[in-house]
Amino acid sequence: MSNKVNVGIIGFGTVGAGVARALLEKGALLEQRIGARPVLRRVCDRDFRRSRGFRLPAGMSTTDPADILRDPDIQVVVELIGGLEPAKSFILEALRQGKHVVTANKALLAHAGRELFNAAAKSHTDLYFEASVGGGIPIIKGLREGLVANEIDAIIGIVNGTSNYVLTQMRERRLSFHEALLQAKQHGYAERNPSLDIDGHDASHKLAILTLLGFGMSVKLEDMYIEGISKISQADIQYADELGYCIKPVVIAKRVDHELEVRVHPTLLEKTHLLANVNGVYNAIYVHGDMVGGALFYGRGAGQNPAASSVVADIADVVRNIASGATQRIPLGKPVAHGIRRVRRMGSVETRYYMRFMVTDKPGVLAKISGVLGRHHISIATVHQKERKAARIVPVVMMSHEAKESNVRAALQAIDRLGFVKRPTVAIRTEAPRSQ
Ligand code: HSE
């Protein structure tokens, strides 16, 4: 084969520009390392007027995706427009045309991963997606290749850089939620629609991909429990801090007997927990397997260059596979859910809870609250009442022992109906460190 592989990029946004620039500037270096040269041939976008900080060579830009999808000389199509359509049609068309595809499109993979993998297998082409989870962290390669000998029993991660950045800024700089989010947007971390980040959906897409790779299970998004960070207040960040915890935007896929817990929510982590020290835009994914024990993957989870680093790594893999005739080296079509029968109902999940009650400061209040908790089999580990200042409403913060989610929900519903409870109670789950 020729030692050149032509690449077309669809989507010249933040990540697309980073990839284009890397291919233009690092072609020779990549060729030395890979043994063949990925050559940028075409870049497609609707609009090229906005400055991307560098110039594409003359004649490289197009506004028509067909110029890439139908160009017989382009072997690798990089899809970086995001969203479900037209991205899905572009990818399927590229695969039908016998082209290999690299994408960062977590939403599409979460919704239609199996269909795309089957289409790639059918046309005997490669579909790579390292940048879809964890930005610059090679977690996809880690799970598919590095940990292939393992039965995975837990994946616990911080996979949304924007949410992690917002909570970190709120804790370290006492910023409001909105001030911190604005900064995340200005840095280019947030999705075009930042509610995808803040409401946990971006993280759920990434968790769907991790669950597929780690446990061989295609979990539908509607079967996951998803809760965002917008209800986390400065007060809870401070009380958690006083109790020795950080609040982190966590995703969890964990085997419990024959069921898999698959959930996305803000979580209290003890400050000594490895993931509690993952701050700002950094992501980390902790994987526990039967042979490796615990393994932690850490790095920048959002931003132009980290994501582009992963996309270029995928292009390099595809180029290597073409060069060695090893396309479909790692097929992805087959489910391999060893012994896991279903997704665990959220009501059955057991964790310790942080609870903040806003109550009138008068005798008997604590006794009534602990009575309701007791009737719902919830055992209290610690109680802290904050000093009353001007207002007559005081926060009472409790940590529970392990309790069942359905019991906690029922108890809090009953408690919030009591006359001395003045605001809806805040409850945040905790996650204990796993033994190595
Ligand atoms: N908006 C995403 C994040 C970017 O904040 O993590 C990477 O997927």
1 pLDDT more than 70? no
Of 335 and 297, the structure prediction assigns the larger pLDDT to 297
Q: Express each pLDDT in 17-39 by its tens digit.
A: 999 999 999 999 999 999 999 99
Q: How far is CA 357 from CA 302, 384, 397, in A?
A: 35, 10, 6
Under CATH, which number does the domain 140-300 receive?
3.30.360.10
Ranges of CATH 3.30.70.260 domains, the chain: 348-431
- Contact partners, residue 39, CB within 8 Å, separation at least 6: 4, 5, 6, 7, 23, 27
CB 283 within 8 A of CB 202: no
CA-to-CA distance for 30 and 45, rounded, in angstroms?
Answer: 25
The CB of 302 under 6 Å from ligand 1? The reply is yes
Ranges of CATH 3.30.360.10 domains, the chain: 140-300
pTM comes to 0.96
Q: Express each pLDDT in 358-382 by its tens digit.
A: 999 999 999 999 999 999 999 999 9
- Report pLDDT for 335: 61
Query: Best of 167, 202, 310 to mutate for ligand 1, by most ligand atoms within 8 A of CB?
Result: 202
| Confidence at 302, pLDDT banded by 50, 70, 90 | confident
Ranges of CATH 3.40.50.720 domains, the chain: 4-135+304-324
Under CATH, which number does the domain 4-135+304-324 receive?
3.40.50.720
Phi-psi region of 253 (alpha: psi -120 to 50; beta: other; left: phi over 0): beta
CA-to-CA distance for 316 and 314, rounded, in angstroms?
Answer: 5
Q: Which of 99, 106, 141, 206 is catalytic?
A: 206
| Confidence at 189, pLDDT banded by 50, 70, 90 | confident
* Domain 348-431: CATH class, spelled out: alpha beta
Q: Which residues of 349-360 are buried (b: 16+ CB within 10 A; e: fewer)?
A: bebbbbbbbbbe
DSSP summary character for residue 362: -
The CB of 197 under 6 Å from ligand 1? The reply is yes
206 a catalytic residue: yes
